[in-house]
Amino acid sequence: MTQWLFPPRPTPSLPITGSDLRFPVRRILCVGQNYAAHAREMGSDPDKQTPFFFSKPGDAIVSDGANPAYPSATANLHYEAELVAAIGEGGRIVGWAVGCDLTRRDLQAEAKKTGRPWDAAKGFDQSAPCGSVTLGDLPSPAGAIALTVNGETKQSGALDDMILNPDRIVEAAGKLWTLAPGDLIFTGTPSGVGPVVRGDAVVVTIDGLETLAFEVA
């Protein structure tokens, strides 16, 4: 019988729409600059873009309507609305959710300038608010994706504006990692990213999926 030095932490998980089952989260992979307009606003040329990934730990998940805390060490916390692909057996997409990639933009800018990793900018505690997983095919592959802050629309786009569609993202990720049940892939964000402060109410919507709503605590 295994004896632990201290009790293992509970496995992070997401609710599943219309079910009492939960989706256990293994890890989070994220695609960078997968919408042309967002690539341009971040200073990149989408025509010369090759797929790149960064990651967040599984316990960065914020679920079940909880409110993420404003993180330390930043004065420029940004929202990024994203479609999230949920991976099941065989590395296949089994469901979808609405996510928000929170980013310490000032730390990311410094990391880019000095050629250092993005971990502190992207993979911090409570940096991945995510809604419930809807199993099956994506309800609206060309559907709208939008984000509001305090009722004001900040991001508005369409899923078919992606440079790489979800199947191609999974194919690219599978060349770098062995995808396994419980992996989540954040598939990129449209243009219009910007800052939030404590007390801001954020709502992210994608056609056909459960809305994600939270306040910055």
> What is the CB-side half-sphere exposure of residue 88 using CA atoms within 13 A?
11
pLDDT score at 48: 60
Whether 179 has a pLDDT exceeding 80, the answer reads yes
Burial class (CB in 10 A: 0-12, 13-18, 19+), 210: middle
Whether 44 has a pLDDT exceeding 90, the answer reads no
Whether 88 has a pLDDT exceeding 90, the answer reads yes
Query: Hey, what are 217's tokens?
Result: 């605590």
Compute the distance between CA of residue 100 and CA of residue 186 in angstroms, rounded to an integer: 9
Q: Give per-residue pLDDT as tens, 120-154.
A: 999 999 999 999 999 999 999 999 999 999 999 99
CATH 3.90.850.10 fits 13-215, yes or no: yes
Residue found under tokens 């995510």: 130
> Do residues 203 and 91 lie in contact, with contact meaning Cβ atoms separated by under 8 Å?
no
Find, among 163, 161, 164, 159, the residue nearest to 174 by Cα: 164
Whether 216 has a pLDDT exceeding 90, the answer reads yes
Cα 50–114–83 angle (5° rounding)? 40
Is residue 208 within a helix (H) or strand (E), and if so which, with residue range?
Answer: none
